[in-house]
């Protein structure tokens, strides 16, 4: 592909992303599969433009003239090359010839915008410089206070790829050795006792250690949430929002395949991926349970038999995903006040569904990959106000004494973030049901 064709492809992908609800990574993968002529360097170049625009959308729009005039995906893609990739405006305009799959020539207005563009200065509003919706400003101020700028800046970085050593099949040292033998550059993670961090990209599904179940892809923050859940051999555990089952697999390892894990989800389609993963990982104590919708106050159509039986109920609640913006930069622009309200309602409902399952003395562990207090502390406070039989316990009480503690933002719950702990953003609250 010529540089002009790469730019044109990036523009087309961005148009699709901004006009649909389909995640950006899926749109990009669809393009890559359909574009067999695009080599690895072509895909990397197109990806850099697409994800560069998504990470820096607000500052690009500001630099290129918004709100005075519309800043199109086409102009943002060209602007990313000049503002962030260091290309000269004339060189980028020279790519826009309309020939050999290149974008159509720039208009006078587009050319003027590219030549006049400049990154926002330090006095520009934080939501523009740090690229997030302005209506989230009060939430982020509440969450971070004086640390707002470094915390939000870290959300614009690319996220590393972390693996979890599956201790049902190998120690972390054995998994590391197997990966290195397969030619993968890796190192130990710094927080989770199971974490392995990739230093360079690798085709993991093609690797023997992955196919043999020695490792699973799982962010280190997610691993820490599973560690704090404290699942022990012989317990009865419910993973109420299991999805593809990554946390269920981690719980199975800490339980050493003894006891029972009920992996539940409203989307049976997502649960179907779990059992092949469990078989590969050597997990034998997981049972999947597709759920039906439930109306609070009525009998549970699926979980009545588990009432009061669970030592652990893990609620990995549906949320805004603000803690994972490094991995899904388009998600920050898809979030709306209406969607956030719907997430909060879903969180309250799933907590209500979880509470009856916890036996006296058992624990309900509430987890989100959100950084927003309205999805985290506020939800826990509302739950405790309605359920006097539960009490929140400090996360430090449950942290293994032989492991160094991760840096956590203030509060009784564990609060992880890219800037503070080097992980995705996670919130983990441990709620004990009184005996």
**Per-residue model confidence as pLDDT tens digits over 174-219:** 999 999 999 999 999 989 999 999 999 899 999 999 999 999 999 9
Q: Quick one: pLDDT at residue 196? A: 97
Residue 409: pLDDT band with limits 50, 70, 90:
confident
Average pLDDT over residues 112-116: 87
Share above pLDDT 90 across residues of the chain, in percent, rounded to a whole number = 86
Share above pLDDT 70 across residues of the chain, in percent, rounded to a whole number = 99
CA angle 141, 147, 148 (to 5 degrees): 45
Q: Where are the beta strands (DSSP E) in 156-309?
A: 162-165, 186-188, 195-198, 215-217, 236-239, 260-265, 286-290
Question: Can you tell me the distance from the alpha carbon of 427 to that of 399, in angstroms, rounded to the nearest whole number?
Answer: 15
* 3-state helix/strand/coil string of 21-70: CCCHHHHHHHHHHHCCCCCHHHHHHHHHHHHHHHHCHHHHHHHCCCCCCC
Q: Quick one: pLDDT at residue 234? A: 97
Q: Quick one: pLDDT at residue 68? A: 63
**Per-residue model confidence as pLDDT tens digits over 61-80:** 999 987 766 889 999 999 99
Beta bridge partners of 216: 164
Q: Quick one: pLDDT at residue 100? A: 86
**Per-residue model confidence as pLDDT tens digits over 319-362:** 999 999 999 999 999 999 999 999 999 999 999 999 999 999 99
Tokens for 5, please give them.
Answer: 């064709």
Is residue 19 classed exposed, middle or buried when 0-12, 13-18 and 19+ CB atoms within 10 A define those classes?
A: exposed
Of the candidates 371, 379, 321, the one whose C-alpha atom is nearest the C-alpha of residue 354 is 379
**Per-residue model confidence as pLDDT tens digits over 97-107:** 999 899 999 99
Q: Quick one: pLDDT at residue 364? A: 98
Residues 192, 224 contacting (CB under 8 angstroms): yes
The neighbour count for residue 402, using CB atoms within 10 Å, is: 6
Of the candidates 335, 329, 332, the one whose C-alpha atom is nearest the C-alpha of residue 54 is 329
Tokens for 119, please give them.
Answer: 């990154």
Beta bridge partners of 432: 363, 391
Ordered structural domains, the chain, with CATH: 3-124 (1.10.940), 162-217 (3.30.70.1170), 221-433 (3.40.50.150)
Residue 37: pLDDT band with limits 50, 70, 90:
confident
Question: Can you tell me the distance from the alpha carbon of 407 to that of 392, in angstroms, rounded to the nearest whole number?
Answer: 20
Helix (H, G, I), strand (E, B) or coil at 295: coil
Residue 392 pLDDT > 90: yes
Overall pTM surpassing 0.85 (yes/no): yes
**Per-residue model confidence as pLDDT tens digits over 230-287:** 999 999 999 999 999 999 999 999 999 999 999 999 998 989 989 999 999 999 999 9
**Per-residue model confidence as pLDDT tens digits over 79-89:** 999 988 889 99
């Amino acid at each position: 592909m010529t540089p002009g064709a790469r730019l044109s492809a990036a523009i087309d992908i961005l148009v699709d992303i901004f006009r649909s609800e389909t995640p950006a990574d899926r749109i990009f993968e669809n393009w890559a599969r359909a574009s067999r002529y695009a080599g690895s360097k072509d895909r990397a170049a197109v990806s850099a433009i697409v994800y560069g625009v998504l990470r820096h959308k607000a500052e690009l729009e500001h630099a290129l003239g918004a709100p005075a005039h519309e800043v199109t995906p086409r102009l943002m893609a060209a602007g990313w090359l000049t503002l962030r990739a260091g290309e000269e405006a004339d060189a980028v305009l020279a790519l826009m010839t309309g020939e050999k799959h290149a974008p159509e020539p720039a208009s006078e207005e587009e050319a003027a915008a590219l030549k006049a563009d400049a990154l926002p200065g330090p006095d520009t509003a934080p939501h523009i410089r740090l690229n997030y919706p302005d209506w989230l400003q009060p939430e982020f101020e509440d969450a971070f206070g004086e640390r707002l700028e470094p915390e939000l800046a870290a959300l614009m970085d690319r996220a590393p790829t972390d693996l979890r050593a599956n201790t049902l099949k190998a120690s972390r040292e054995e998994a590391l050795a197997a990966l290195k033998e397969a030619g993968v550059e890796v190192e130990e993670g710094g927080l989770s006792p199971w974490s392995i961090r990739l230093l360079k990209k690798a085709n993991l599904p093609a690797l023997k250690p992955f196919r043999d179940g020695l490792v699973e892809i799982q962010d280190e923050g997610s691993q820490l949430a599973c560690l704090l859940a404290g699942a022990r051999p012989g317990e009865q555990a419910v993973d109420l929002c299991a999805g593809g089952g990554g946390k269920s697999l981690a719980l199975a390892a800490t339980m050493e395949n003894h006891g029972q894990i009920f992996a539940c989800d409203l989307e049976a389609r997502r649960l179907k991926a779990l059992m092949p993963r469990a078989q590969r990982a050597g997990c034998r104590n997981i049972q999947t349970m597709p759920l039906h919708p439930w109306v609070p106050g009525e009998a549970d159509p699926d979980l009545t038999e588990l009432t009061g039986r669970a030592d652990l109920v893990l609620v990995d609640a549906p949320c805004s995903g603000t803690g994972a913006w490094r991995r899904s930069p388009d998600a920050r622009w898809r979030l709306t006040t209406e969607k956030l309200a719907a997430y909060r309602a879903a969180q309250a409902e799933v907590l209500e569904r979880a509470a009856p399952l916890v036996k006296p003395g058992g624990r309900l562990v509430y987890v989100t990959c959100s950084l927003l207090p309205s999805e985290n502390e506020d939800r826990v406070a509302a739950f405790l106000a309605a359920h006097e039989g539960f009490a929140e316990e400090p996360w430090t009480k449950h942290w293994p004494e032989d492991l160094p503690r991760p840096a956590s933002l203030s509060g009784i719950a564990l609060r992880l973030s890219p800037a503070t702990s080097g992980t995705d953003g996670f919130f983990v609250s441990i709620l004990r049901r009184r005996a």
